[in-house]
Amino acid sequence: MASDDEPQDDEFDMDADSDQDLFPKATDDFLGSSGEEEEDEDLEEDDSDDVDDSDNDNMSAGPLDEKKARKIEARRAKQEALAEAELKDAALQTNIAGEDGERFELPDEEANEDELLGDITKVNHRIKEIVNVLNDFKNLRQPDRSRQDYVDRLLKDICHYYGYSAFLAEKLFNLFPVAESIEFFEANEVPRPVTIRANTLRTRRRDLAQALINRGVNLDPLGKWTKVGLQVFDSSVPIGATPEYLAGHYMLQAASSFLPVMALAPQPNERVLDMASAPGGKTTYIAALQKNTGTVFANDANKDRLKSLTANIHRMGVKNAVVCNYDGREFPKVIGGFDRVLLDAPCSGTGVISKDPSVKVNKTDKDFIDIPRLQKELLLCAIDSVDAKSKTGGYIVYSTCSVTVDENEAVVDYALKKRPNVKLVSTTLDFGREGFPSYRGKSFHPSVKLTRRFYPHVHNMDGFFVAKFKKLSNKWDEAKDKPEAASDDVDMEQEDQEEDQTTFNDDEDAALIQESKVKLLKKRKGIKVKGSSA
């Protein structure tokens, strides 16, 4: 279970010295300074001199021309300074007053709610105005209104405009600064990019890209953070029914679901458990990284989902998978001693609202009690299923497609308290935001900052959370006697996470994909491509 801004030059920027010269003059002018009036008179005299001199241009000497040019330049500079000051003042007044020239005022508490919400355009405008006020509350507030008054009105408008329940709107709103919360709600209204993962058990990304381009698929490498991802922009053929798809050359897979497998970093010949594996995107990725060696146990508690899981395993050419159907809480009683365990836990789905808008209204306070309870139980079982003495592993990755703290940092913090024989280590993901070490008055273990959060409005992928644990001992009471071991921040994992460099080269892949596009374009226009048969 889906974004790098560059500063833009401002053509109206002036250097610091120029600012210091201009603003005092503008202030004096607004105050009616007599000194400034004297300067105006001098300039008027200069103007008359200029007119007189203009009749005698042919007789004017060089120095006189220079003097006149300096006077004109000085007058122009002063006019520009005054104009700039007026623009700045006008902008300030607009910011304070609002677009319509009047200061924004909250509706009265007695106002009819149906009338307030009747015009969706006005609701959207009011959201922007309230965000503007909250960002500069001291200067823009109404004297008789509190910050909470503005927040309450904003939440009502968010519920109506975006279609959330009051409970969930407030829960998600509290995760971000005010302006960013609106960006998050907006991002949930837009579908995430279509992404596919090249299956390295059957092909190479560059070969797959070229084959799909030839079929009329417009695509590019997903990003430098992945060596197997491709983003599809548009396609003249169904992307889920091409010969390459049916042959298992790629998996239709959300970009965010690459992340937990990348963090897990399974190695060849290891025993790996995917605790909640259907429909198989992560399981088949694990098998590909293992190069079909070792064993990956693909477990899912929902028997109905095993059909799609098994179908994808066969289609993708996976030969080292064992499909099983247990409640995850039965591990390690059923089987244990794994080198690595991936728990992509059942969650509320608050990170994938763009895919499932029903989440906006069908989640209640009870859900955020029951779901985290299940997640905590599963995570403890995942930890207990790993062999701390594994020569290459001893790792657990916990992930969710939710952005709420209840399902993420709070669950991780609980596991650290209940299992002192584990510690958090780096996810090795070089992007994403740090987890919250504290939230709304509740503090978590400091190492929670090692977890990673992903947001649709920031990373252009589904909202996601990833945490990685290292198990230090198979007996938690032994680790309890050695607290210094559990608090060690040094990640002892020494493993080669680089994939086959001859197979994956991001820059080279991008160049080859672009070359394929050019060749296809020339072919369609009837231009003979060098090296092709006549």
Indicate the pLDDT class of residue 47, thresholds 50, 70 and 90: very low
Q: At 75, which amino acid appears?
A: R
Compute the distance between CA of residue 169 and CA of residue 174 in angstroms, rounded to an integer.
9
For 324-349, what is the mean pLDDT? 96
- pLDDT tens-digit profile of 384-395? 999 999 999 999
Q: Say if residue 289 is exposed, middle or buried (CB neighbours under 10 Å; 0-12, 13-18, 19+).
A: buried
**Residue 325, number of CB atoms within 10 A of its CB:** 14
Instruction: Give the pairing of strands 321-324 and 422-425.
Output: unpaired
Domain boundaries, the chain: 18-97, 256-486
CA atoms within 13 A on the CB side of 444: 24
Element (H, E) at 434: strand 433-434
Q: Write out the two tokens for 488.
A: 């060690």
Pick out the residues of the known binding site for S-adenosyl-L-methionine. 276-282, 300, 327, 344
Residue 324 among the catalytic residues: no
pLDDT > 90: percent of the chain? 64
**Residue 402, number of CB atoms within 10 A of its CB:** 27
Residue 292 and residue 319 in contact, taking contact as beta carbons nearer than 8 Å: yes
- pLDDT tens-digit profile of 466-506? 999 999 999 874 554 444 444 444 344 444 444 443 344 56
**Residue 185, number of CB atoms within 10 A of its CB:** 22
Which of 159, 347, 381, 401 is labelled catalytic?
401
CATH number corresponding to 256-486: 3.40.50.150
Tell me, what DSSP letter sits at residue 107?
A: P
pTM for this prediction: 0.74
DSSP code string of 152-197: HHHHHHHHHHH---HHHHHHHHTTS-HHHHHHHHHHTTSPPPEEEE
